[in-house]
Amino acid sequence: MELWQYDATETARLIRTGRASAREAVDSVLGRLHKVNLAINAVVRVYEDEARAAAETADAARARGHALPPLHGVPVTIKINVDVAGKPTDNGVIPLKDFVAKEDSPVVANLRNAGAIIIGRTNAPAFSMRIFSDNALHGRTLNPLDPTVTPGGSSGGAGAATAVGIGCIAHGNDIGGSVRIPAYCNGVVGLRTGFARIPSYNATAANAGRPIGAVLMAVQGPHTRTVRDARLALEVMARGDTRDWRWNDVPMRGHPPARPIKVALVPEFPGCTTHPAQAAAVRAAGKHLQAAGYVCEEVLPPDLERGVELWHAIIATESHHGLWPNMQKMGDPDGIAAMRAWLDLHKPVDLAAYLGALTEREGVLFRWMGFLQQWPLVILPTLADLPPKQVADTTVEGQRAIFDSMRPTLMAP
């Protein structure tokens, strides 16, 4: 196997034991990037010189016998919407292409402090607000499994990069599916973390603040190729930072749940038509867990349909008053059209309804917490349908031709 094929846990072990160097790991991943990224456009800013310099520093530290942090020398990527010191936080928006951050966001600092080496930035839609990772600044990201369907959004570049071996861990973030959907579309592990589990702060936007729905629901999280890497990434990314007033020092491991562990299966999402393949996958997962000693039953958690409605009422209202005006000023045509269509479908609500939705949301959370006391695991589809198709576009025909020529090597093991 080549080094880019190993997960973060194994890469870190190889470097720690001297069976590989950080420089070799970075060179291998950069070689993979140069081989396949042209076909999928997952990484849109490459930091080759900085990455190699960081690898040399990492190898020198090991040679001197320094204690090595958990991700020492491991190549990772960062989404284009969080601050990396000295680099633009462009969020896929042309007017922000030179909006350079002066300091790392906490999640970036945590990865660096754990020894990770940033090799580049992954793509997202303009303002990170679509299920397609396409923008006028960086272009379109293709799904390495199938270029005719979306790689997901908004962390689509992260999901696609992880799937093809461009980095062991890809940072992403999520307010309504932006970690989970790309993981689903690209066939990797995506971890949407809990409230304030990972500190979140961007100095480039901190003074403006965020609306309460975003404060409550926007989180940072990793994309990985293995579950053990998701655990490792969470442990690293969740270290505290005083710049995020929400963060609390919560133990990484709690009390084990009562045995046997009960699992609630939701093969079909209520209120819509779930694709048969989705329902079958949930039931298949239940069979595997049942064979492993879990107790599985098809049972609905509380307020599933209402939770979706409340999310739209809160986020659509906040977006209408905050993001939408900025999108109209600086966004690209596709992003503007998508936002307009969403706001037409899910109308912003008045102040009383908005406050009522926030209040009702807390009631839903209490009912869910009660449900989880009995059913600590819930398995349900990420989406009720298969990944949506990408609209054909003559501007990406050349990219599609490159993709087709490289198809056999994109998803090599």
Give catalytic residue positions.
79, 154, 178
Q: Which two tokens stand for residue 10?
A: 């194994």
Rounded Cα distance, 116 and 78, in Å:
11
Q: Which two tokens stand for residue 140?
A: 């379109």
DSSP alpha helix (H) spans, 64-179: 106-113, 156-164
Q: Is the dihedral of CA 199, 205, 207, 209 positive or negative?
A: negative
Rounded Cα distance, 43 and 249, in Å:
33
* Full 3-state SS string of 184-207: HHHCCEECCCCCCCCCCCCCCCHH
Rounded Cα distance, 263 and 296, in Å:
5
Q: Is the dihedral of CA 140, 146, 151, 157 positive or negative?
A: negative
Burial class (CB in 10 A: 0-12, 13-18, 19+), 51: buried
SS3 83: coil
Rounded Cα distance, 284 and 173, in Å:
28
SS3 210: coil
Other residues' Cβ atoms within 10 Å of the Cβ of residue 195 = 13
Q: CB–CB of 101/83 below 8 Å?
A: yes
Q: CB–CB of 186/246 below 8 Å?
A: no
Residue type, 188: V
DSSP state of 220: E
**Bridge partners (DSSP) listed for residue 409:** none
Q: Angle at which helices 22-40 and 156-164 pack, to 10 degrees?
A: 120
